Amino acid sequence: MDSPSTTAVDGTGRAQRRLMAAGLIGSSIEWYDFFLYGTAAALVFPHVFFPHSSALMGTLLSFATFWAGFVARPIGGVVAGHYGDKYGRKPAVVVCLIAMGTATFLIGLLPSAAMIGGLAPVLLVLLRFVQGMAAGGQWGGIVLLLVESADPKRKGFAGTFGQMGVPFGVILGNVVFLAATAALSTEAFLSWGWRVPFLASAVLFPVVLYIQTKVEDTPDFKALQAEVSQKAAGAGSVAKAPLAEVIRHHWRKILLGCGLLAATNSVFYISIAGVLSYATNELGMGYDGLLAMALLSSIVGAGVILWSGAKSDQVGRRPLVIIGAIGLIVWAFPYFWLVDTASLPMFLVAVTVAAVFQSMTYGPLAAFMSEIFAPRIRYSGLSLAYQLAAITVSGGTPLIMTAIVASTGSTTLVAVFVVAMSVITLGCALALRETNPASVRTDPTAVPGLEAVA
């Protein structure tokens, strides 16, 4: 019998609702910490850590430090995936959340370049690297705590409570930044006000304590442990070297899973960092208004993520991903045409429509990517796929956009880049087998994903 001090994650009832709430809150604060850096990199860090550079070079250097977090994410995914497949999903999640909260808090305490010179950006990059490792490990763990503990017919819906942490993280970051800029003068904000959002990350630690003391590991992982304890052999037991196994035997699924994220990641990071910098520096728009528009589009995106994940339990995972990718292909050029009008209402239309298609693609991916891999290598496999997309697409997108605009004076090639990323996602979705086909959806005893990992 379960201890009254722990949450039994059996996929139903109050326990599952508590787990989904904990996953949503923990993921939201974790991504708040990670994305907060992107907003600061566009608006603050060029002035604080690169004050002697030109406006363009300061922005490029700031986004280069932003990219450092994405370089670190695959490392965090590899390490957390390895230990998460061997020792449990929960311990890996707890360590990652602690690392993220600590690194973000310390960024808020960093001296500026005016105080300690070149050491300031070095320390900034180091802490950003720790942020990246933590983000790289936490996504797979939180997603698996949710999906592996859910009712088999509601895995897509349950997974969205980890996915919605992304737009909610952006919303939290934007609200805090808007409040700080509204309450302070520009001089005060650049001097010390920007630190407050980073120091606020301390609220993550009660969530860590809750997960550590109140949440059990997933039924899927417990089943693997039980097989080992009974000296069971075969494909079901805990993998001795999950990382090596998934790379050696499932590299194609890793690459296809990475490609599933190309469209959603590129558009998302353009909207929260690249276009924010472009609109303020090149179009002369005020960043308070831009942050407000980004906040509204993120609210819409969160709703679409919830809807698309739940819908994937009814119609399959692939249709939502395919429709979202096609939508981004069609919207890529109108997106930048509207942004280039330098009109806030047009900017809102651009980023909100993009958020709809991007979120439609992103919502089902927690369940879809989990179901692609067998439980014994699942944490390693989906973390590698997700974080490979982070280093190849996500982190470099704002830098690529800034460099393209600087060299061409136009956003046309940025739109071409978005189309290319969306075509990659479309191709990968078509190449992968549906993990929740009609035969599974209509069979009350069937579990999604079994055909895909067979």
| pLDDT for res 4 | 39
Q: Which tens digit of pLDDT belongs to each residue from 80-101?
A: 888 888 888 888 888 988 898 8
Site of tokens 């280093």:
391
Q: Is residue 12 scored above 60 in pLDDT?
A: no
Q: What is the mean pLDDT of residues 113-136?
A: 87
Cα 12 from chain centre: 26
Candidate from 189-203, 234-248, 298-312 with smallest mean pLDDT: 234-248
Q: What is the mean pLDDT of residues 108-119?
A: 87
Q: CATH classification of 13-202+238-453, choosing from 1.20.140.10, 1.20.1250.20, 3.40.50.10860, 3.30.2320.80?
A: 1.20.1250.20
What is the rounded CA–CA span in Å between residue 29 and residue 46?
25
Q: Is residue 126 scored above 50 in pLDDT?
A: yes
| pLDDT for res 241 | 67
What is the rounded CA–CA span in Å between residue 129 and residue 46?
18
Percent of the chain whose pLDDT exceeds 70: 91
| pLDDT for res 5 | 40
Domain residue extents for the chain: 13-202+238-453
Q: Which alpha helices (DSSP H) does 44-54 contain, by range? A: 45-48
- Indicate the pTM of the whole model: 0.83
Number of residues that make up the chain: 454
Name the residue with higher pLDDT: 416 or 172: 416
Site of tokens 């690169």:
50
Q: What is the mean pLDDT of residues 266-277?
A: 86
Q: What is the mean pLDDT of the chain?
A: 84
DSSP characters for 237-287?
Answer: SPPSSHHHHHHHHHHHHHHHHHHHTHHHHHHHHIIIIIHHHHHHHTS---H
Percent of the chain whose pLDDT exceeds 90: 31
Q: Is residue 160 scored above 90 in pLDDT?
A: yes
Tell me the CA distances in angstroms from 284 to 6, 182, 298, one per residue in order: 53, 19, 23
**Cβ(370)–Cβ(144) below 8 Å:** yes
Q: What is the mean pLDDT of residues 112-125?
A: 86
The half-sphere exposure of 43 on its side-chain side, counting CA atoms within 13 A, is 33
